[in-house]
Chain A
């Protein structure tokens, strides 16, 4: 009799082992972008919990990092901007952390990703919105931009660690944390999902990707778009448990005199950076990956490589001449098509 108990036990174990996790997917627009969660879970109900939580958290952090809209009871970037030159604003720990890290990274790097560049970025954004609404557009006037640039200075951000408050000392200063907050938030939510029990999945928040675990014991494959034909993958990366962020010139742009003007503005020239078409940064930290995908989009390879050594990130750069450069640490896990 015991013999058959043993056989049954083996069968139960086998059935248990073969109960593979199933893939489920959800998507929504939030954070001014398209967001998708693909997760491997044991059933639909477990997935729906993660899906609901993910959408709710993106909404919450979008409100916190929003520089252009007010939300009741939220001391967000808009509130800091509205009080520029007037008073310090006590903020949520996550907002404080993002601004603090953006300032520290700026001071220690090539000083291209400047979150106080907002008055300039807004001028370009206005042109892009008019372009999207089918109006004829031209570039913003450079003299006007230079005048506005007098308000652009990272030293205008006064951080008070003890009070956890932010003060903009010039009344014309304005922050926009769009070039760091999405990476930070995607990573944060991925970690929250892991704490809730998710072991395998991917969040893609408009080019900010977090890979959670592995897919049924093998690496996930991430495709990076061809900037000249964003519908096809140019490079595939096989990886797990990592943050991948791509900045490209092919999603947000407008065209003047046949030149594609992308949304990443170089603070030194006050014009769109045209040196690269696509920069992908890979790191364990979402904020680092996001910050440097924007920073490196404005830099040449030599400077990118120096920063990669200093901050220990990997990169894939497609420059304006379509030359692809892949950092040493990625060579064995990437495939160029």
Chain B
């Protein structure tokens, strides 16, 4: 076997490998940091509106859903159902959400709001 590595070869290999790993890690990280947090509104499984929560703007979206009008608003990077036509008002009681594991689901109105984000949450799935 002519393959013999001296200690410099080993050091060079380790240094180059570390640089490669760091570069790869940073590329992934910067990709993620650039990704915005989006609140997507679905009615009857169709995407009907998207809010960019990262812009932290105050916006309102109104939709005539199954039981009547649903008003959705954003503020300070969060989204909520401001009012809805439903006795239990589960969606508006849920109030503000900015978490990808806590969608706002309005079953009687066939509507839900899902937040898309690359940020890590405390839990991977939330059962409620």
Residue with the greatest number of chain A CB neighbours at <10 A, chosen from B20, B67, B125: B125
Q: Which residues 4-30 of A sit at the B interface, judged by CB distance below 8 A? A: 6-7, 10-11, 14-15, 18, 20, 23, 25, 27-29
* Pairwise interchain contact A11-B123, C-beta atoms closer than 8 A: no
Bound together, the chains give a CA A220 to CA B67 distance in angstroms of 37
What B residues does A231 contact at CB under 8 A? Answer: 94-95, 97, 102, 128
Bound together, the chains give a CA A46 to CA B102 distance in angstroms of 25
**Is the interface on chain A under 10, 10 to 19, 20 to 34, or 35 or more residues?**
35 or more
What A residues does B2 contact at CB under 8 A? Answer: 2
* Pairwise interchain contact B128-A207, C-beta atoms closer than 8 A: yes
Asked whether A29 and B123 contact (CB < 8 A) given A10-B13, A132-B86, A134-B86, the answer is: no
Pick the residue among A2, A15, A20, A223 that contacts B20 (CB under 8 A): A15
Pick the residue among A23, A25, A223, A253 that contacts B127 (CB under 8 A): A223
Pick the residue among B21, B97, B110, B122 that contacts A29 (CB under 8 A): B110
* Pairwise interchain contact A202-B9, C-beta atoms closer than 8 A: no
Asked whether A28 and B116 contact (CB < 8 A) given A209-B125, A222-B125, the answer is: no
What A residues does B44 contact at CB under 8 A? Answer: 29
* Pairwise interchain contact A223-B122, C-beta atoms closer than 8 A: yes
Bound together, the chains give a CA A280 to CA B127 distance in angstroms of 10
Contact bitstring A178-202, B, C-beta under 8 A = 1, else 0: 0000000000000000000000001
Bound together, the chains give a CA A244 to CA B127 distance in angstroms of 9
Contact bitstring B14-58, A, C-beta under 8 A = 1, else 0: 001100110011001000000000000010110000000000000
What B residues does A133 contact at CB under 8 A? Answer: 67, 87, 108
**How near does chain B come to A109, taking the closest CB pair, in angstroms?**
23
**Is the interface on chain B under 10, 10 to 19, 20 to 34, or 35 or more residues?**
35 or more
Asked whether A34 and B112 contact (CB < 8 A) given A10-B17, A225-B126, A225-B128, the answer is: yes
* Pairwise interchain contact B107-A33, C-beta atoms closer than 8 A: yes
Bound together, the chains give a CA A322 to CA B20 distance in angstroms of 52
Asked whether A32 and B42 contact (CB < 8 A) given A6-B5, A131-B88, A221-B123, the answer is: no
**How near does chain B come to A197, taking the closest CB pair, in angstroms?**
20
Pick the residue among B85, B108, B127 that contacts A224 (CB under 8 A): B127
B82 within 8 A of A: no
* Pairwise interchain contact B12-A7, C-beta atoms closer than 8 A: yes
What A residues does B85 contact at CB under 8 A? Answer: 134
* Pairwise interchain contact B124-A202, C-beta atoms closer than 8 A: yes
B71 within 8 A of A: no
Dominant secondary structure of chain A at its interface with chain B = strand
Asked whether A11 and B128 contact (CB < 8 A) given A18-B21, A27-B112, A132-B87, the answer is: no
Pick the residue among A6, A14, A25 that contacts B116 (CB under 8 A): A25
* Pairwise interchain contact B127-A14, C-beta atoms closer than 8 A: no
Asked whether A29 and B107 contact (CB < 8 A) given A132-B86, A220-B125, the answer is: yes
Pick the residue among A29, A246, A250 that contacts B45 (CB under 8 A): A29
What B residues does A134 contact at CB under 8 A? Answer: 67, 85-87
Q: List 21 A-B contacts (CB under 8 A).
A: A3-B5, A11-B16, A15-B24, A29-B44, A29-B110, A29-B112, A38-B125, A132-B88, A132-B108, A134-B87, A202-B125, A220-B124, A221-B124, A222-B127, A223-B123, A224-B127, A225-B126, A225-B128, A231-B94, A231-B128, A233-B126
Identify 17 new A-B residue pairs, CB closer than 8 A, beyond the known A29-B42, A29-B45, A132-B108: A6-B3, A11-B20, A14-B21, A18-B21, A18-B24, A27-B42, A29-B107, A34-B105, A38-B124, A131-B88, A132-B87, A133-B87, A222-B123, A225-B127, A233-B126, A253-B88, A254-B88
Q: Which residues of B contact A (CB under 8 A)?
A: 2-5, 9, 12-13, 16-17, 20-21, 24-25, 28, 42, 44-45, 67, 85-88, 90, 94-95, 97, 100-103, 105, 107-108, 110, 112, 114, 116, 118, 122-128
Q: 3 smallest A-B Cβ distances: which pairs?
A: A225-B128, A223-B123, A34-B105
